Each structure stands twice: as structure tokens, then as C-alpha cells.
Structure 1
């Protein structure tokens, strides 16, 4: 669903996929947003976003790393996996 998988860390526990999608969609088309949850369904504070193009992926990393979302500055970088 895209060319670039991005790791997003330091996500506020009150965040939802729609919050992250809204921020990344400002940069370009998003293929997928997946926040990692524990066995009880609570956000674990990180997740992954797939951007549809490499160019938009790099723009998202540059623009959104350190940006506050729901009171916490998110960490945004290319995913290792």
C-alpha cells in the first residue's frame, strides 16, 4: 500500500490512527497507519505509517519529526523493517 514504511514513536496514549493519519495526509497520500497495541488494546506509544511515494515519505520524516501531536513530540524516521 505504499513505497516507504515509517516508524512513528513517542505517540501519546490518547492518540488514534485518525490523529496520525491527519498529520501525515497533509504531506501526501498515506497507504496505511498501524498503531501497536498491547494485549488489552491500549496504545504502546509507537506505530507505523506507509506513505505511497518515496518523496512524500522523506518529506514526512523531515516535516513531522519532533512535531507535537496531542501534547507529545512524535519521533519520525524510516522503519528498519
Structure 2
């Protein structure tokens, strides 16, 4: 399950600790919108690795067609790396599309 540690809810999923602030924002997980349909998880990870250790990167696909839904998530090892990636990658270009990069929010 999870626990409260220093103001963050910490859960373990697939062996990776993920934190969530009390305001509903993930502490080290980024939402990446505006992805090209051709962008794959590996290329998304490669684009963000220069800003820190990426523990997970996934492009969300439609379950019926397998085609990209145009957004994904990148999880960093630290909150500082995540913030650096937001500053550098928000409104930047990847595969011909302008990215929108923000801290990820919890599902509602």
C-alpha cells in the first residue's frame, strides 16, 4: 500500500517508489502532452534522460488500436531532476510537435 513520509504519500508500484504531495501532484512524475503519434516510450525516455535519471517513461496508447493517444509520463529519480526537465522541455520540440510538460496529477 503506502505511507506518509515528510508530507508525501509514498507508494511502491513495480518496485519503484512514487510520491504524491498532499495537493494531488506527483512529486517526480511528469505529464508530457502534445506527443507525435510516432513517438515511442524509448524515444521519450531518451529525450528526457539528459536532465537526470529516468526510472520510467511511457507513451499512453489506445487499448483497441494500439495507437498513441498523444501523451505520456516520465518519472525521474528525484524531484530536482523533474523540475529541471520541466524547465528545459516545456514548449520544446520532439518529433515535430511542441511538448507541454507539467508535474503529473493523481487520477481523480
Same fold (TM over 0.5): yes
Shift of 1:19: 1.3
Q: From the CA coordinates, give the structure whose radius of gyration is larger.
A: 2
The higher relative CO (CA closer than 8 Å, separation ≥ 6) is in 1
Structure 2: segments with no counterpart, 5+ residues: 1-15, 19-27
Distance (whole Å) between structure 2 residues aligned to residue 20 and residue 2 of structure 1: 21
Q: Please list every run of at least 4 consecutive aligned residues from structure 1 whose deviation after the TM superposition is greater than 3 angstroms.
A: none
Structure 1: segments with no counterpart, 5+ residues: none
1:56 aligns with 2:65: no
Q: Choose between structure 1 and 2: higher strand proportion.
A: 2
Superposition CA RMSD, Å: 1.1
TM-score normalised by length of structure 2: 0.71
Q: Choose between structure 1 and 2: higher helix proportion.
A: 1
Count matched residues. 81
